[in-house]
Amino acid sequence: MQLSDTDQKYLGLAIEQAEIGWGEGGVPIGAALVHHGKDGDKVLAVGRNRRVQMGSAIRHGETDCLETAGRLPTSVYRECTLYTTLSPCTMCAGTAILYEIPRIVIGENQSFEASEEWLLSKGTELVIAEDATCVSLMERMMTERPEIWAEDIGVETSDLRPSEPTA
């Protein structure tokens, strides 16, 4: 769907992170956490997948972003939007549910989708941007670095969907 100018701006921060991650040799997925307070919006943190950069099993875009945001009061999470360039995996969706983040803006869900039904069942509002830049980032990833992508989503490279460019 067409994003509001505000959502597009914050999704842009996540895309910027994804592109930095790609340049570092990593998985190009980025995120941003934005608090909607009485005095307006505040970007609490941005983050990116750092599997390669940090040798990490848990630093996906969303979790890296939340880790950079640090320990926050529960009430803050409940007034936030999480922006991510790709539909969350179960780990990242579970993190959003843990902290009751009420709204997630998702760059695209064509390349990967594993948690949206669950998030919706928990009352999370999902906005799917169908953003062409986000799709391109993942297409390049799956073409040029399929082994790392498979590792990142817990599948064998041979298990990647036939519809994906690596087939």
Q: Which residues are designated catalytic?
A: 62
Left (φ > 0), alpha (ψ -120 to 50) or beta: where does 37 sit?
Answer: beta
- Per-position x/- string for 37-56, each x denoting binding to its own copies as judged by CB under 8 A, each - no binding: --------------x---xx
C-alpha separations of 162 from 88, 142, 157, 158, 165 in Å:
21, 12, 11, 9, 8
Nearer to its own copies, 17 or 63 (CB): 63
DSSP H/E element including 36: strand 30-37
Residue entry with tokens 């790609």: 22
- Residue type for position 109: N
Residue entry with tokens 């040798």: 55
- Per-position x/- string for 68-107, each x denoting binding to its own copies as judged by CB under 8 A, each - no binding: -xxxxxxx-x-----------xxxxxxx-xxxx-------
Q: Is residue 123 involved in binding its own copies (CB under 8 A)?
A: no
Nearer to its own copies, 7 or 152 (CB): 152
Query: By the criterion CB under 8 A, which residues form the site for its own copies?
Result: 51, 55-59, 63, 66-67, 69-75, 77, 89-95, 97-100, 114-115, 118, 150-151, 153-156
